[in-house]
Structure 1
Amino acid sequence: MRELMRRMGYAYATENIYCDWVRRFIKFSQMDSREDLFVNAENKVEKFLTDLAVKQNVASSTQNQAFNALVFLYAKVLKRPLDGVDAARSRKEPRIPVVLSIKEVKKVLAKLSGTNVLMVQLLYGGGLRISELVRCAYRILILNTVKLRCVMARAKKTVLPRLHKSLFPC
């Protein structure tokens, strides 16, 4: 499955998540061999997805991710598309993110130093994801400013995020 996903250009994180969902599905369905994947497949997938929604109370996006991983497994890897999967849908309410006030952000930044403070400032001030921050490269230019080049994970493009003047040492 990994090899096929790499050939098709899937992101490394997607590859890991899909493989994890397939492992969970196999464990949940108590499968011992590859042939078990073909026996009553739609029913097993339906039970797994229903268990995610009802017993594990996952968000609908999580349930969709698991379903997409299993659709990929059956359609692309096993060459046996799933038909008529009708699992219970998740009813979990979306979680509203907690936003820190400017005062709270200043308190957090005051407790940090060195590279850590710069990383948090870039995450907060540049609107970067952690995975994007890790892949960033910065250069000090002749004009004593910092130009940040980031490869954005989802967009697959290079961008220059706008940085606040307080991030510059000069």
Structure 2
Amino acid sequence: MKNQSFSYTPGTHKGQKVIFIQFEKDYKLVEIVKKITGSIWSQQKKTWYVADTDENRLFFNLPKNHVQHPSEEGYLHLQKFKNYLLSKRYSENTIRTYIDALRSFLAFHNQIPIIALTNDDVIRYNTDYVLKNNLSSSYQNQIVNAIKLYFKTVREISLDLDKIHRPKREKTLPNVLSKEEVKAILNAHSNLKHKAMLSLIYSCGLRRSELLDLKLSNIDSKRNIVFIKQSKGKKDRITPLSPKILELLREYYKIYKPKNYLFEGQEAGSIYSEQSLQNVLKQALVKVNIKKPVTLHWLRHSYATHLLESGTDLRYIQELLGHNSSKTTEIYTHVSTKKLTANKKSF
């Protein structure tokens, strides 16, 4: 696809090889990208991407991918590192991210014996691969953390992190929808299953994975709560379930009768796919003519912000969202209209 408004950069996201699509913020360009088969918006990296396949490389006029692999010794060390992460009960996402980062590092240095790898090789990888390929600062930090842990555990050598450039953490504000926009999105679908999924994400402030992992037993209709098990940081938490959403779930259950997961895929008992859920949101946005690059996480951000604007205590919002630190939750004070209104009154 030849278009001077776009640039394309191969990279890695969530353990997969992808092609990032960069362009200046423009709703017309967003509509073009949305029409590309398989395009996905990454809330984490703040960019669009597609799978790094030969077909997509041809579409974007990129050279075919020549993939490097770790040495045979490197694969043995990958397995040792994975065994360590499993024994420490790291989450599946963290294991996948860390293993992918180490695999990339060992592939970059596949001509060097593992025992000979030093702090200087980490610096060269950071400079000649991470920065050269314009990988995001958050992913760069993940890579450094993974390699540091590998050296400390498998290699039993400490790294001098002061010599390895860590990017400054990007200070971005969460994207928040108005209550009117949220209402339009939640009412966009006539399909009861799609409506219930989006409504539950917003009304309980759920992450995408938290919704998909919900089982029938996680809904306590007598106490009007949702029990979220082993979410991010391997923490359990509960969140209130409004009578209106409970009634919606009851209507949904009568029609779809799920067996295991609350929302199942085409096969009975199977988990609903992330891509399908993202498409449910995309379809809703088209129906209500919202042009913003809304993601499912925007609904969680909106939930927290709307609670804050209605006077809910910040500490309670922290518990509802499952944040470890209050600093994470405090970011919503910067996008709350409550703060803006207070400032206006002071003038």
- What is the TM-score with the length of structure 2 in the denominator? 0.42
Aligned match for 1:83, one of 157, 160, 163: 160
1:17 is aligned to 2:94: no
Shift of 1:152: 4.1
Aligned match for 1:100, one of 163, 177, 180: 177
Shift of 1:53: 4.6
CA contact (8 A) 2:204 2:240 kept: yes
Q: Distance in 2 between matches of 1:84 and 1:91?
A: 14
Q: Distance in 2 between matches of 1:95 and 1:65?
A: 18
Runs of 4+ off more than 3 Å: 138-143
CA contact (8 A) 1:28 1:48 kept: yes
Alignment of 1:1-170 (within 5 A): 1-29=81-109, 31-32=110-111, 35=113, 37-51=114-128, 52-53=130-131, 56=134, 58-59=136-137, 61-83=138-160, 86-91=163-168, 93-112=170-189, 113-138=191-216, 147-169=225-247
Q: Distance in 2 between matches of 1:164 and 1:48?
A: 50
Amino acid at match of 1:106: K
Q: Distance in 1 between matches of 2:159 and 2:198?
A: 44
Residues 126-170 of structure 1 deviation map (CA, whole Å, 9 limit, x = unaligned): 011112222222457675x75422114134343221123321218
Q: Distance in 2 between matches of 1:136 and 1:111?
A: 23
Alpha-carbon spacing, 1:27–1:166, altered in 2? closer, same or farther (3 Å): same
Larger CA deviation: 2-11 vs 105-114:
105-114
Amino acid at match of 1:46: I
Alpha-carbon spacing, 1:93–1:81, altered in 2? closer, same or farther (3 Å): closer
Specify every segment of 5 or more residues in structure 2 that has no aligned partner in the other structure, as ranges: 1-80, 249-347
Q: Distance in 1 between matches of 2:214 and 2:177?
A: 24
Alpha-carbon spacing, 1:161–1:15, altered in 2? closer, same or farther (3 Å): same
Equivalent in the alignment of 2:3: none
Task: Count residues in correspondence.
Answer: 165
Q: Distance in 2 between matches of 1:141 and 1:153?
A: 18
Shift of 1:6: 0.8
Q: Distance in 1 between matches of 2:97 and 2:201?
A: 24
Q: CA RMSD in A?
A: 2.7
Specify every segment of 5 or more residues in structure 1 that has no aligned partner in the other structure, as ranges: none
Q: Distance in 1 between matches of 2:221 and 2:159?
A: 58
Alpha-carbon spacing, 1:93–1:155, altered in 2? closer, same or farther (3 Å): closer
Q: Distance in 2 between matches of 1:57 and 1:92?
A: 14
